[in-house]
């Protein structure tokens, strides 16, 4: 694990951290900071659309189902245990850099989802898209597409499975005294039932689970902040002061540095919202929508929910509750549990345990789909049935293994896999930025013709909803072949 940690650190700091921020800045500046100045537009496109009845999708998922599937994987243990670990390893300043990465990541996520739909392909199983498709067909780099898939597969077994299963069993054991092995067996059985139905069933389960777990956790976290509301200004001041000078803010005894705050803040932010990794774009690539840019709005909303909302509630609850102590060894999920318990008592501890269970289980389902999509891309339809059976068997075996094994040491492997996925994906986002920003500008000028930014007032062909629509129908109709390398 020491070797994995050194390799992950060598990739993450400063190279990948800088690349994440650079890509986010390019998309933010290139769009005129769309995530900030066009809040009414992307909010209306996402939350506003939920008020209207959505038609049945014949070839793919609805935009909301794609969002729910992506959120199911992003809102895993990183939202509860990962944030607490970031506070321990990087200090309160890590939260500030988590916010920075999320703000820029909103536009990175928008670009990913836009490109995932732009280069999606119609397969015998429905619409499919993601980084491997825009790497191959957009960037014309099939080798990088294969590298992304090969890095994603172990990530689905480690961060998307072993870590999540371990969190489920340990939280239920601590809260209710349930033995770990039976918990693992039940988790594996439920996951297997959902996986047997493919992406459609996983999306249906995710659509039901995500709203429930988000309301439960955010509502309980809001109560914790309400109980300790007088400490909120101090917690916010501590986060900001530690972001740039941890030693000065904490008296010099904690041993944190700005580099540690940036490293763990950005890394945990990326793990919780996946903007720049490309994994959540796989779920959005299966969405059936009239325009790629419209799905990009869901990418902005996804990052907003996973980090500025959920992760901020976790971090502030820990800081205001008094449970956080720089000299103590309490970290991860137990630290979050102690924070909620300080305000809500045993009910708060139960909420964290239940939320961790729902977050982790939904994450297992989402990552299982990512693994199968990568296998499909690498092997094609001919070898897929056999490979899928083997992958599902291995995946469910990892669910059992994670339940009885302490997987805390796997965070280094997770960081390494994330880095190896992010490198090709961020490369594609850099080179395809002109395409993505052009499509976003054209769609925005149609949806919001009163925009004050003149560069977005370009005329658009009224016969098509997006710049690429002329060739899209023909490409999808003809692309019945296997998506192999």
User: 10 Å Cβ neighbour count for 266?
Assistant: 28
Structural domains of the chain, ranges and CATH numbers in brackets: 61-428 (1.20.1740.10)
Model confidence at 56, pLDDT cuts 50, 70, 90, reads: low
Query: What was the pLDDT predicted at 484?
Result: 42
Distance in angstroms (rounded) separating the CA atoms of residues 341 and 333: 12
Contact 108, 20 (CB under 8 A): yes
pLDDT, mean of residues 245-270: 63
Instruction: Report the C-alpha dihedral over residues 151, 152, 155, 159, rounded to 10 degrees.
Output: 140
End-to-end CA separation in angstroms for the chain: 33
Computed over every residue of the chain, the mean pLDDT equals 81
Beta strands in 64-165 (DSSP E): 121-123, 126-128
Query: What was the pLDDT predicted at 54?
Result: 59
Query: What was the pLDDT predicted at 458?
Result: 43
Cα angle at 162 between 159 and 167, to 5 degrees? Answer: 95
Tell me the per-residue pLDDT of 229-239, one tens digit each, with 9 for 90 and over: 999 998 898 88
Residue 299, pLDDT above cutoff 80: yes
In this structure, what token pair is assigned to residue 364? Answer: 């297992």
Contact 377, 88 (CB under 8 A): no
- In this structure, of 47-61, 395-409, 463-477, the range with the lowest mean pLDDT score is 463-477
- Select the more confidently predicted residue: 335 or 144: 144
Tell me the per-residue pLDDT of 423-452, one tens digit each, with 9 for 90 and over: 999 999 999 999 999 999 999 888 765 454
Residue 150, pLDDT above cutoff 90: yes
Tell me the per-residue pLDDT of 4-43, one tens digit each, with 9 for 90 and over: 677 777 777 777 878 888 999 999 999 999 999 999 999 9
Burial 199-213 (b: 16+ CB within 10 A, else e): beebbbbbbebbeeb
What's the 3-state SS for 17-61? HHHHHHHHHHHHHHCCCHHHHCHHHHHHHHCHHHHCCCCCCCCCE
Tell me the per-residue pLDDT of 59-117, one tens digit each, with 9 for 90 and over: 678 888 888 888 877 776 677 777 877 787 778 888 888 888 889 999 999 999 999 99
Tell me the per-residue pLDDT of 261-280, one tens digit each, with 9 for 90 and over: 776 777 677 767 778 888 98
Q: What is the pTM of this model?
A: 0.85
Query: What was the pLDDT predicted at 137?
Result: 93
Distance in angstroms (rounded) separating the CA atoms of residues 404 and 169: 8
Model confidence at 485, pLDDT cuts 50, 70, 90, reads: very low
Q: Looking at the chain, how many residues does it have?
A: 485
Model confidence at 53, pLDDT cuts 50, 70, 90, reads: low
Cis peptide before 14 (omega within 30 of 0): yes
Residue 1, pLDDT above cutoff 70: no
Query: What was the pLDDT predicted at 207?
Result: 85
Residue with tokens 């670009």: 111
In this structure, what token pair is assigned to residue 348? Answer: 């708060």
Residue 253, pLDDT above cutoff 50: no
Query: What was the pLDDT predicted at 462?
Result: 36
């Amino acid at each position: 694990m020491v070797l994995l940690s050194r390799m992950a650190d060598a990739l993450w700091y400063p190279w990948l951290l800088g690349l994440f921020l650079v890509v986010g800045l390019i998309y933010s500046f290139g769009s005129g900071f769309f995530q900030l100045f066009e809040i009414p537009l992307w909010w209306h496109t996402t939350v506003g659309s939920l008020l209207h009845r959505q038609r049945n999708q014949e070839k793919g998922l609805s935009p909301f189902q794609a969002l729910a599937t992506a959120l199911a994987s992003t809102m895993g243990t990183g939202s509860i245990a990962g944030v607490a670990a970031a506070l321990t390893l990087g200090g309160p300043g890590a939260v500030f850099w988590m916010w920075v990465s999320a703000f820029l990541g909103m536009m990175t996520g928008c670009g990913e989802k836009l490109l995932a739909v732009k280069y999606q392909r119609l397969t015998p199983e429905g619409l499919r898209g993601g980084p491997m498709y825009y790497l191959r067909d957009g960037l014309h780099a099939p080798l990088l597409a294969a590298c992304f898939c090969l890095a994603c597969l172990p990530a689905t077994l480690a961060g998307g499975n072993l870590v999540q299963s371990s969190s489920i069993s340990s939280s239920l054991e601590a809260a209710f005294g349930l033995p770990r092995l039976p918990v693992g067996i039940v988790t594996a059985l439920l996951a297997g039932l959902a996986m047997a139905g493919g992406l459609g069933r996983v999306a249906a389960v995710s659509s039901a689970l995500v709203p429930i777990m988000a309301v439960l956790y955010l509502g309980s976290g809001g109560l914790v902040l309400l109980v300790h509301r007088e400490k909120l200004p101090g917690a916010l001041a501590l986060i900001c002061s530690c972001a740039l000078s941890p030693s000065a803010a904490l008296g010099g005894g904690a041993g944190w540095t700005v580099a540690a705050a940036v490293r763990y803040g950005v890394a945990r932010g990326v793990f919780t919202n996946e903007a720049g990794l490309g994994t959540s774009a796989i779920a959005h690539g299966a969405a059936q929508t009239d325009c790629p840019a419209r799905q990009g709005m869901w990418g902005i909303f996804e990052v907003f929910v996973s980090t500025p909302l959920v992760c901020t509630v976790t971090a502030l609850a820990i800081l205001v509750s008094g449970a956080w102590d720089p000299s103590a060894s309490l970290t991860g999920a137990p630290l979050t549990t102690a924070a909620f318990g300080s305000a809500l008592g045993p009910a708060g501890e139960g909420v964290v345990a239940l939320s961790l269970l729902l977050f982790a289980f939904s994450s297992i389902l989402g990552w299982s789909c990512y693994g199968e999509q990568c296998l499909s891309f690498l092997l094609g339809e001919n070898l897929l049935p056999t490979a899928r059976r083997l992958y599902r068997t291995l995946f469910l075996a990892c669910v059992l293994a994670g339940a009885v094994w302490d997987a805390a040491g796997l965070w280094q492997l997770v960081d390494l896999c994330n880095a190896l996925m992010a490198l090709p994906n961020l490369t594609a986002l850099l080179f395809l930025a002109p395409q993505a920003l052009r499509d976003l500008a054209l769609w925005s000028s149609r949806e919001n013709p009163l925009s004050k930014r003149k560069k977005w007032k370009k005329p658009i062909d009224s016969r098509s909803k997006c710049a690429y629509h002329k060739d899209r129908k023909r490409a999808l109709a003809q692309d019945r072949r296997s998506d192999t390398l």
